[in-house]
Structure 1
């Protein structure tokens, strides 16, 4: 049976992905710093591993086929945590995945990670960290899909997206639930390895626009 490891499962998108997979009784392992944050998710197929991403967390990769990296330092932290989580922990996760012969690594990145200089932003350290993590994954030899959503909102998702970047930053936002739905769809596909998707709120169904 295949097993998916979700790194950052206690975050908002991570919880959405975990809950959906757990409800289908898929074999899921979650990596969190505090497992009590997942107490509300009940499933016989859910394996919760407690670990700090700033330390060694290689034990979580045993028997794993797919990795979903949705961890983030958070907007309230400084550049030090951004460096340690969004870059260094992501780099370690790629290394552990390579050692474990993971078949698919799905990286949640960010709009602007392709070129942190191109978008005027007060979160440039975060974009630089995401850029470097993405680049490391791309040359690692680990099969990957990178997801770069626009600004995240807590609006109710409609399952409608676009992968064409809008002209205005104000139109680039996307509900977190639609990012989670897109991630779950990518998880089911073997033909999206090597793809990089920018995601924005739109008018296209996830299962049609992410197939090309």
Structure 2
């Protein structure tokens, strides 16, 4: 059985990626900061031996290499938290992503899905008032694109904590720089990330996602079959 690593696994999106992966019967290694408190579902899974949890500082190179060794794929769900430190996005969403990319290269982990953000790379956007967060996210994306790894970037819109929406709304997919607003539940983001891992056609693509109650549910591979072929 392949082993999926998830960084930022105690975060609001990351823990849902882990939870959805466990529901699919996947083997999961959750990477969290030493002081993180696991959500109840993950804490229970760890106690039951269904989840491998590694607590480490992602900037600690040797510890990160050890945590990723033996894994077949990685979902990067780390993200800068609101803070008075305006350098936070650069540290987490750019250099922090680069550290994870380098660790993957070092241990031979090839398949990576990065959770980024709608409008990544745009300079004239209100979110950039908080430490140029969208610029930092685009830096992380670019380093992944240039890494030689088998990558997919998922750019979600506004993130909702209402998991019930995931059963009432369908995902609206698009290529890069085509959507500007709208939201979706974090639970749907998690599902799309896992679908991307399992879908060869998602490799080398930036995929933007939001959701709508008027959108018929559609699997990622169905949308990709109808989408414009990737360059090259």
Which category describes the TM-score, using the shorter chain as reference length?
A: 0.7 to 0.9
* Offset of residue 150 of structure 1: 1.0
For structure 2, the 5+ residue unaligned runs are: 228-232
**Counterpart for residue 217 of structure 2:** 205
**Counterpart for residue 49 of structure 1:** 54
1:210–1:9 distance in 2 versus 1, CA, 3 Å: farther
- Contact 2:117 2:137 (C-alpha < 8 Å) held by counterparts: yes
Q: Is 2:187 aligned against 1:182?
A: no
TM score, norm. by length of structure 1? 0.88
Select the residue among 105, 111, 117 that pairs with 1:98: 105
Q: Deviations over 1:111-166 (max 9, x none)?
A: 111x3225343346111111101000001101100001111122322351112445
Q: Is 2:169 aligned against 1:162?
A: no
Q: Is 2:204 aligned against 1:194?
A: yes
Distance 1:204 1:180 in 2: 18
1:106–1:206 distance in 2 versus 1, CA, 3 Å: farther
**Counterpart for residue 117 of structure 1:** 123
Distance 1:23 1:44 in 2: 14
* Offset of residue 55 of structure 1: 2.7
* Offset of residue 204 of structure 1: 3.9
SS in 1 for 2:147: coil
TM score, norm. by length of structure 2? 0.81
SS in 2 for 1:199: strand
Distance 1:73 1:50 in 2: 18
- After superposing the two structures, state which structure 1 stretch, 155-164 or 6-15, moved more: 155-164
Q: Over aligned residues, Cα RMSD in angstroms? A: 2.1
For structure 1, the 5+ residue unaligned runs are: none
SS in 2 for 1:68: strand
